[in-house]
Amino acid sequence: MAAMPDGPLLRCEKLRRSFGDRAAVDGISLSISPGEIYGLLGPNGAGKTTMIKMVCGLLEPDGGEVTVGGRHVSTDLSVKSLIGYVPQDIALYPDLTASENLSFIARLYKLTSDVVRERVAEVLELCELSDRANDRVDSFSGGMKRRLNIGAGLLHHPQLLVLDEPTVGVDPQSRHSILERVQEFGRTGMAVLYTTHYMEEAERVCNRVGIIDHGRLIAEGTRRELVERLGERDRIELSATGNLEAFAAACRALPGVDSVATTADAVQVVASDGRRMLPHLLEAGEPIDVTVNAIDVTEPNLETVFLHLTGTALRD
């Protein structure tokens, strides 16, 4: 890897991008330093992918600027050699072999033939696919494709790795493997921008998290910093049947309740002193014939933070 610059490697300043009347990204600023894994957390449609496309130079911002290593992404083509992009969907030729796919992508970075061979072998080993190097990608399992998709973004030894929801649709074993790899990348000094809507992934791998909703960065910090914002609040999940929307409204009206969100079969509440609130929450459901089947009171985590900040559950 090339020498790391002082200060943040990626710097986004007041990035804006609209599609028609809808602001997909609305004035987001963030920075990532070498060795830092930054999680961009938000529900589907929050603006994560738009943000990532602007960082990678795939989308021109309406306003603001992106620099990597102090160079502007939108004007300096060579800066893209510092970025490794891992798209959300598998972007590989299914009818070419793993080795052919990697060789092709490596050649786009003007690597010499010897270096291409070396890097392809290196990435295949990293992806644990050396024994399948000459097999067509369409014969691979979903997890193998995901690993190769990530590997393709590492061929040119980028300083900044941008991963757009890399674990979507992946089995638990492959997910575990991918997350371990991402943590390793951070340890080697690579800056990582990692988007996900899986809270536990962000908690596990990211040094710092930015919460994005409706195109705005509504909170940013380490996990501890974000959770501490909640003070003594708890997250209470009430699995229930009946009119959950009416139940949520009733809960929301109770003093001490900060935010309420509904999922398909539960109402999630963030409240001060959750255990004390429980009887009141159950009483709120009685007049509207809601049956609470299970209760789960947990310590605050990023999901609680998200619920508290946005008033919606992350996986809505």
Nearer to another protein, 65 or 100 (CB): 100
Contact between 240 and 291 (Cβ < 8 Å): yes
Contact between 293 and 241 (Cβ < 8 Å): yes
Q: Does 265 bind another protein (CB under 8 A)?
A: no
Tell which residue, 205, 286, 309, 190, has the closest CA to residue 238.
286
Tell which residue, 280, 279, 265, 272, has the closest CA to residue 308.
272
In angstroms, the CA 109 to CA 153 distance is 11
In angstroms, the CA 172 to CA 178 distance is 10
Q: Which residue stretch of 2-10, 54-62, 198-206, 292-300 sits at the interface with another protein (rule: CB under 8 A)? A: 54-62
Q: Does 193 bind another protein (CB under 8 A)?
A: no
In angstroms, the CA 148 to CA 138 distance is 12
**Chosen residue from 1, 77, 168, 294 binding another protein by CB under 8 A:** 77
Q: Cα-flanking dihedrals φ and ψ of residue 6, to 5°? A: -75, 150
Q: Does 72 bind another protein (CB under 8 A)?
A: no
Nearer to another protein, 95 or 171 (CB): 95
Tell which residue, 92, 91, 100, 96, has the closest CA to residue 136.
96
Residues in contact with another protein, total (CB under 8 A)? 27
Nearer to another protein, 60 or 225 (CB): 60
Footprint on residues 90-109 left by another protein (CB under 8 A): 90-96, 100, 104-105, 107-109
Binding mask 113-152 for another protein (x = CB under 8 A): ---------------------------------------x
Contact between 202 and 196 (Cβ < 8 Å): yes
Q: Which residue stretch of 72-80, 186-194, 250-258, 281-289 sits at the interface with another protein (rule: CB under 8 A)? A: 72-80
Smallest distance from another protein to CB 117, Å? 14
Name the 3-class secondary structure at 31.
Answer: strand
Q: Does 68 bind another protein (CB under 8 A)?
A: no
**Chosen residue from 10, 24, 37, 85 binding another protein by CB under 8 A:** 85
Q: Does 56 bind another protein (CB under 8 A)?
A: yes
Nearer to another protein, 85 or 198 (CB): 85
Q: Does 4 bind another protein (CB under 8 A)?
A: no
**CB-based contacts of 174, cutoff 8 Å, min separation 6:** 142, 143, 146, 147, 167
Q: Does 231 bind another protein (CB under 8 A)?
A: no
Contact between 10 and 32 (Cβ < 8 Å): yes
Residues that bind another protein (CB under 8 A): 56-58, 77-78, 80-81, 83, 85, 87, 89-96, 100, 104-105, 107-110, 152, 156
